[in-house]
Structure 1
Amino acid sequence: MTFQGAFTALVTPFKDGGIDQDAYRALIEWQIEQGIDGLVPCGTTGEAATMTHDEQGEAIRICVEQAKGRVPVIAGAGSNNTKEAVYLTKLAKKAGAEATLQITPYYNKPTPEGLVAHFKALSDEASMPFILYNVPGRTGLNALPETIARIATEVPDVFGVKEATGSMAQCSDLIEQCPEGFVVFSGDDFTVLPLLSLGGHGAISVVSNIAPKMMSDMCAAFRAGDAVKAKELHYKLQPLSRAMFIETNPIPVKTSLGMMGKLDASFRLPIVPLLSENETKLKAILKENGII
């Protein structure tokens, strides 16, 4: 499996208190038809924080089953509890995912030594390839380049990072300090193209839920050396990316998919529906950009 290009941080459709399997499978199939390079179930966008362990296992299994090996599946399996991360990783492995996405422990705010120990324990107890997820806006902790470089060197299963600081200076330091071939994905839709220009490998994207072809084409154009096309697609994506964050993710993106007829835009508390005034703004943006 190749880990480059546009990977979608999938939403999880819900219905009657559980996962809407039909809508979920249809969304996955559409993503692949549109040329997406990979899928990431059970992340922040997938509302994994409100799902039971059994539901996470089910969501990953469905995704792997529907993908049928056509694109890689990186399953969200992280936790601020190392034992729980080990358990979730074992679920992802059993479901057949190619790799997992492992968030830095949130709330606990571990030291760099604690981060290294967390990921070493994960590798020792549930060995499986994984990508580290650095998202200070969600965790309250910024894993600095020197710490990630140390993890990349000392932990055998880590092969990349989803970098969501939005700081190109930090991304540049990260790529400079990490081993050759270490995969660096953007976790921030606004900075995918700048990160590619620094040597990044692609994106784990929110906006590609609604515009998979556009995001995939942008990454492919850059790899092919077509900077003009890549820049054109970057600026086409910008208003959509802004719209996906008019409220907390995944509220706008799931609402957008509802407007597109892809699923029922239902949420689990404490996530609630989009404010009506923002729904009006969102609909206008989607219409203006040809999404609906």
Structure 2
Amino acid sequence: MTKTYEEIKQRLRGSITPVITPFKADFSIDYDKQSELIEYQLNNGTHAISVTGTSGEPSSLTIEERVKVMDNAKKTINGRVPFAPGTGSTNHDETMYLTRKAQEIGADAAMVIVPYYNKPNQQALYKHFKTVADSVDIPIIVYNIPGRTALNMEVETLAKLNEDCPNIVGVKESNKDFEHVNRVMLRCGRDFLLYSGIELLCYPMLTIGGAGSISATANVEPAKVAEMHDAWTMGDVKRAQDLHFELMKLNDVLFKDTNPAPVKTALGMMGKIEPVLRLPMDLPSKSLQNEIRETLVEYGKLLQPT
């Protein structure tokens, strides 16, 4: 490795945007649009980039497409900010392959989701993550999202992985149980990287020592999400609190249907992408689309309703 884990951990902080995967009208991946979305993020203060996480519809992509999306993102970023793609799958061998590919293309870290659908026990979870971590030299961020995996990585399992695997450096907690995330910090140590994947907990997690957030909302409003982290880091608590509440209505509307359908709808209205998802995902109802449009107007992302 060219950097130690500690050096990389210092850089993997702030707003890490999980960039969506843009599709064309024929459902093929629009790599040019992907690059434009990444530039939009970097021009608005985003601190790091992820792709092929939940917002990137990884279960709708082939393995080859996931590698190409990662590779295109890495080339677009070109070292300007850290890059931590999602490499997890419900299939162990696919997770191993994708995580190794992330290292091969030069990713700074890999985000590995708790396997969905299978519902392994905690011992099996430990074996899965340890085997993946042992197969690479790059840092691993565990992605715990029980609302979509139907499984929670328990604090003791995560702590044992942190103890046994030097490159398991943090966790994205898309977990509404704030007691759980407090216990993660207590058990894993204050230098363990804790990221919020729950939009309304992005600010509260900073107050207990969190490293930042990996928030789908940052696809739409990257500047304010990044500024909230910057304000907190600079000691401007009031500004960070103000931004937390300013973002709340947008956060709410973007999660009234399954992510990333509302986010893609919003980006389509903003002229950033074609609002296309691959089945079995689809766009929200017309009534929710209208609500998203009205919210974007309120936030100054659209000049007027259409």
Q: TM-score, normalised by structure 1?
A: 0.97
Q: After the TM superposition, which residues 221-240 of structure 1 pair with which residues of structure 2 at under 5 Å, given as runs?
A: 221-240=231-250
The question of whether the paired residues in 2 share the 8 Å contact of 1:100 and 1:129 is answered with yes
Letter in 1 for 2:287: E
Question: Number of residue pairs matched?
Answer: 292
CA distance in 1, matches of 2:255, 2:43: 26
SS at match of 1:75: coil
Cross-structure match for 1:213: 223
> Which deviates more from structure 2 when the two are superposed, residues 104-113 or residues 180-189?
104-113
Pairwise CA distance, 1:9: 0.9
The question of whether the paired residues in 2 share the 8 Å contact of 1:57 and 1:95 is answered with no
Q: Is 2:295 the counterpart of 1:285?
A: yes
Letter in 1 for 2:154: L
Cross-structure match for 1:114: 124
Letter in 2 for 1:283: R
Cross-structure match for 2:78: 68
- 1:130 pairs, out of 116, 140, 145, with 140
CA distance in 1, matches of 2:236, 2:155: 29
- 1:265 pairs, out of 264, 275, 278, with 275
SS at match of 1:159: strand
CA distance in 2, matches of 1:95, 1:56: 12
User: Is there any run of 5+ residues in structure 2 with no aligned partner, and where?
Assistant: 1-7
CA distance in 2, matches of 1:154, 1:80: 23
- 2:188 pairs, out of 178, 190, 193, with 178
- 1:6 pairs, out of 1, 7, 15, with 15
CA distance in 2, matches of 1:8, 1:219: 13
Pairwise CA distance, 1:127: 3.8
Pairwise CA distance, 1:17: 3.1
Q: Is 2:160 the counterpart of 1:160?
A: no
SS at match of 2:85: strand
Cross-structure match for 1:21: 31
Q: Is 2:42 the counterpart of 1:43?
A: no
> Which deviates more from structure 2 when the two are superposed, residues 254-263 or residues 115-124?
115-124
Cross-structure match for 1:58: 68
SS at match of 2:247: helix
SS at match of 2:59: helix
Letter in 1 for 2:238: V
Cross-structure match for 2:284: 274
Pairwise CA distance, 1:73: 0.8
Identity %: 37
CA distance in 2, matches of 1:160, 1:104: 13
Pairwise CA distance, 1:135: 0.4
CA distance in 2, matches of 1:98, 1:172: 26
Pairwise CA distance, 1:150: 1.1
Letter in 2 for 1:33: N
SS at match of 1:18: coil
Pairwise CA RMSD of aligned residues? Answer: 1.1
SS at match of 2:110: strand
- 1:202 pairs, out of 212, 218, 236, with 212
CA distance in 1, matches of 2:190, 2:184: 11
- 1:245 pairs, out of 243, 255, 270, with 255
Q: TM-score, normalised by structure 2?
A: 0.93
Letter in 1 for 2:16: F
